[in-house]
Structure 1
Amino acid sequence: MIPPISVETNTFRYTLDALLVRSDDLRRVAATVANAAQYVGISARLNSEPERLVLKIEIEHAAKDIAEVHADLEGVIATIEPSEWARASLVTGGPWPVTRGVSEWVVNYAPWLSVAARWVPVTMTRRIDNANAPQDFLERFARVPTGSERVRIDRFETETGPRFEVYLAGTNFAAGPDNPWWVGANTELLASGASRSMSAAESALDHAGVTGTTPIVLTGHSQGGAIALALANSGRYAVEAVFTAGTPAGLVESPANVPIVHVVHPEDPVPALGGVIRGTAGTTWIVHTEPRTTGTDAHLASNYQESLRRLDGLRDPRLMALENRLQIDGPGTAMWFRATLAGD
């Protein structure tokens, strides 16, 4: 089992390149030390100096240790899935120029934009009182809604006023252009930093009583994570943290001065579609699926749920410190929302 790996967002795009460079460096250093040991051995035999024999043995041991580290590193590189190599080739170059160009054309000329208003109303489908506050990333992600409900908002009353936890679902691949969460919303986010799905999320925030000063924590899967980043980057909300899983985070600019935690499966092709993560904020956790899955199956929320369970088991001090800072005492009110479509 490959353990989760944490990398800072601004170095994430160079991780694989660095592995290759370091591997080649180690190979060359090991060869150089081995050659040096040979030269010392020849000199020792010619001069019969015990000290040089001892030095020769020490250098040989060092060369062996370096060679073993090099072999281990080669093994790590060999375990990287082909999909991760593909993703690395994307994130080292930036968002696809073709994808960006197509996205801009779509937003400017898309015929479906006329079927729904830019401000998308929502309907609260249900409400539950006495909802417990989430304790960690795992519990937050478990609350991301499914089905026609795409937004869940938990409201908690505290001594300093209301606080909100917001959970945003990803793309509805079965939906058509009249649904704000259809697949085309991703191109809207890439081209303009906004989308009808983001507008629907803001309608839900307004309905739940979120203002520009009430603290909120945003959690999203896939497109929902991109919406969370866009909301945080808008400056219209007092965002305390953003948690994403399986998100093409490069679709939008990452906000500065906001704690961000990304979790991605190297086998999941969707995060690569965002290209380079724009901005330097946040930490990305690379978590291999267990048991190993590939393609779109690696993007499923259920597989990310299991990976977050493994990540939670690491008890990482930085992640725990953030989760502890976000703790809320006491029950709250949970609300679910779906977009109000034409004909409702």
Structure 2
Amino acid sequence: MSDEIDVRSGSAISVETDELYLVAVRLGSFSGDARTWSHEAAIARCVTQWSVEAAPFGFAEADLARAAAILQDVAAESEELGILIERIAERYAAGERRLTDAWTGLAALGSFLAGAYVRNLILGSLPMAPAVAVALLLSQHPEVRRLAAVVGQPVVEALAEHADELATPEFVAVVRTLVSSADDFALGLAGVPLQTARFLGEEGAGVVGLSSMAGSLLILAGRNAYTHTPLSMSRSTVGAVAAPVTLADAAARIPVSGSGKPQVRVERYPSSNGDPSYAVYIAGTSDFSTGGKEPFDMSSNLAGIAGGDTAAQQATVEAMEDAGIEPGDPVSFFGHSQGGLVAARIAASEVYSTESVVTFGSPTGQIPLPDSIAHVAVEHAEDVTPALGGTPADGRERVVVTRSLFDESGPPPGASFGSAHHMARYAETAVLIDHSADPRLNPLRDALAGFGASGTAALYRSERVRDP
């Protein structure tokens, strides 16, 4: 396991490391100390010069004066060096941003050309349509299907056995690129001219993009996926709780995903002036199908990425309303996986006075949030789920904290493909974030410090009400 984190500001890029900013912070602190020491040396020189009692130490006046001047120079140079290091980091990030933009453009062009190539293959194979139809009919024969199952079983087993080998940052990067380029592939497949495709795609007017692709998948998933269902909600009171002091405290309160388990936790903290503040903790996906009772299912995932209202978001808002949260009230959100997607969507609506949004392993890169919100996205380099949100759009004022769970040797034996997505692993990363001195995390620390000393908590569970 790695204990190093990278803190990145902005959207897809920025490679300033935690250590680099820590050096800048330490230089700033040292500069302040040096100024204090210089001031104390100057005072000591005055004392030896004007105090009768200190007259025997007058021989040190020249040395004290020289020390005060040197310390003053050290303070100025340390401050200047710290500022220079920050500027270097920012320029480094800007350079990588330009490289990433260039790579994104090339990936989009390649996907468009691939879609156009597949289109030509399909059109070129139309004369073989009768043969393809016969092959499809034969594939439905029980004996043919049985033979396909026998032949395909070793392949499936081999894929399952080596699935953990896909848990790499390189694979996650490929998935992110493919997801972001799906619209370009679709436009090429549809035969849209290149210039028109560039105008319609995310690099242009944004008419066709990740959200429209997710919406298409939602429709293809069937009626159970996109049909609205009413919800029934139950509440259980936790009682008095201490306010979270650290991000690790907050991460530990996110409900554990699972069928039949609570999905939302709401904490209320009273203030001295009578205006309460709230913390909302949202669980991740509990059902990967589209026809069950769980609102935190795959259809809510697709609808959330598509930018539409979801049953999971509805369940969270209803829980917030039951807890007494009204429009304009100060709220901080903490969500894992789909819970982070829900949190970002609610914050983006600006119905509430959102102070902070922290997501763990969530596909939220393309959701714009107001700059006033302390937005921190925690992502593991081997976790594919954040990549399903595509390449983060430029200009998003958020902080991305990345951690690679495994060293160069890869996942340890027994690690599953989804190990990097488990909330237990993200809880460990939250501890590392709490120990970080990176100044870009200060808005989050301020938001955590804004809670009262104690409050009350309640857990909520919602279920879809489907027609019999």
TM-score by length of 1: 0.72
Q: 2:280 matched to 1:166?
A: yes
Contact 2:361/2:380, CA 8 A, preserved across alignment: yes
State whether residues 374 and 443 of structure 2, in contact with CA within 8 Å, keep that contact through their aligned partners in structure 1: no
Match of 1:123 in 2: 234
- Alpha-carbon offset, residue 143 of structure 1: 0.4
Alignment-derived partner of residue 67 in structure 1: none
Give 3-state SS (helix, strand or coil) of 1:314's partner: coil
Q: Which residue does 2:295 correspond to in 1? A: 180
Kindly name which structure, 1 or 2, has the bigger radius of gyration based on alpha carbons.
2
SS of equivalent to 2:215: helix
Structure 1 residue aligned with 2:223: 111
Alignment of 1:295-306 (within 5 A): 295-306=417-428
Alignment-derived partner of residue 287 in structure 1: 403
Give the whole-Å Cα distance in 1 for the aligned partners of 2:288 and 2:308: 23
Instruction: Kindly provide the CA deviation profile for residues 211-261 of structure 1, in whole angstroms up to 9, marking residues without a partner as x.
Output: 112100000011111111100001111100100111111363344431100
CA distance in 2, matches of 1:132, 1:326: 12
Matched, 1:196 2:311: yes
Structure-2 residue corresponding to 1:309: 431
Q: Residue 271 of structure 1: CA displacement?
A: 0.8
Counterparts of 1:273 and 1:266, CA distance in 2: 13
Match of 1:154 in 2: 267
Q: Structure 2 residue aligned with 1:268, among 348, 366, 383?
A: 383
Q: Tell which deviates more after alignment, 177-186 or 295-304.
A: 177-186
Alpha-carbon distance, 1:262 to partner: 0.8
User: Which of 18, 21, 29 does residue 96 from structure 2 map onto?
Assistant: 18
1:241 to 356, 374, 394: 356
Q: Deviations over 1:36-82 (max 9, x none)?
A: xxxxxxxxxxxxxxxxxxxxxxxxxxxxxxxxxxxxxxxxxxxxx97
Q: What's the CA shift string for 1:146-167, capped at 9, x where partnerless? A: 2321100001111231110000
Q: Which runs of 5+ in 1 are unaligned?
A: 22-80
Q: 2:11 touches 2:365 (CA, 8 Å); kept in 1? A: no
Shift of 1:325: 4.0
Q: Deviations over 1:269-300 (max 9, x none)?
A: 11111102235111001111168646311100
Distance 2:368 2:388 in 1: 14
Amino acid at match of 1:334: A
Sort the Cα spacing of 1:277 and 1:254 in 2 relative to 1 into closer, same or farther, 3 A: farther
Letter in 1 for 2:254: V
Relative to total residues, which structure has the larger helix share, 1 or 2? 2
Contact 1:13–1:276 (Cα < 8 Å) also in 2: no
- Whole-angstrom distance in 1 between the partners of 2:359 and 2:342: 10
After superposition, the Cα gap between the structure-2 partners of 1:209 and 1:2, relative to the gap in structure 1 and judged at 3 Å, is closer
Counterpart residue identity of residue 123, structure 1: S
**Identity score, percent:** 25
CA change 1:13–1:295 in 2 (3 A) is farther
- The SS at the match of 2:459 is strand
With the length of structure 2 as denominator, give the TM-score of the two structures.
0.54
Distance 2:465 2:308 in 1: 24
Distance 1:105 1:207 in 2: 34
Q: What does residue range 42-57 of structure 1 map to in structure 2 within 5 Å?
A: none
CA distance in 2, matches of 1:282, 1:7: 8
Work out which of the residue numbers 285, 297, 319 in structure 1 matches 2:441: 319
SS of aligned partner of 2:365? helix
Q: Could you say what the CA RMSD is over the residues aligned between the two structures, in angstroms? A: 3.1
Alignment of 1:2-151 (within 5 A): 3-12=4-13, 18=96, 83-89=168-174, 91=176, 94=180, 96-97=182-183, 100-108=211-219, 110-113=222-225, 116-117=228-229, 120-124=231-235, 126-146=236-256, 147=258, 148-151=261-264
Alpha-carbon spacing, 1:82–1:334, altered in 2? closer, same or farther (3 Å): closer
Secondary structure class of the residue paired with 1:130: strand
Q: Is the 8 A contact 2:218 2:226 kept in 1?
A: no
Which runs of no fewer than 5 residues in structure 2 stay unpaired? Answer: 16-92, 100-165, 187-209
Matches of 2:181 and 2:247 in 1, distance apart?
28
Q: Distance in 1 between matches of 2:464 and 2:291?
A: 11
Counterpart position of 1:340: 463
In 2, the alpha carbon distance for the partners of 1:9 and 1:171 equals 27
Conserved 8 A contact 1:289-1:307: no
State the one-letter code of the partner of 1:105.
S
Q: Quick one: distance in 2 between partners of 1:296 and 1:263? A: 16
Pair 1:82–1:330, CA change in 2 (3 A)? closer
Instruction: Please tell me the residue identity of whatever aligns with 1:131.
Output: V
Q: CA deviation at 1:120?
A: 3.3
- 1:129-177 C-alpha deviation (Å, 9 max, x unpaired): 2211011221111100023211000011112311100001111146653
Separation in 1, partners of 2:370, 2:175: 22
Distance 1:114 1:288 in 2: 36
CA distance in 2, matches of 1:239, 1:329: 16
Distance 1:82 1:163, change over 3 A: closer
Cα drift, residue 314 of structure 1: 2.3
Query: Equivalent residue for 2:337?
Result: 222
Aligned residues: 283
Moved more, 1-10 or 138-147: 1-10
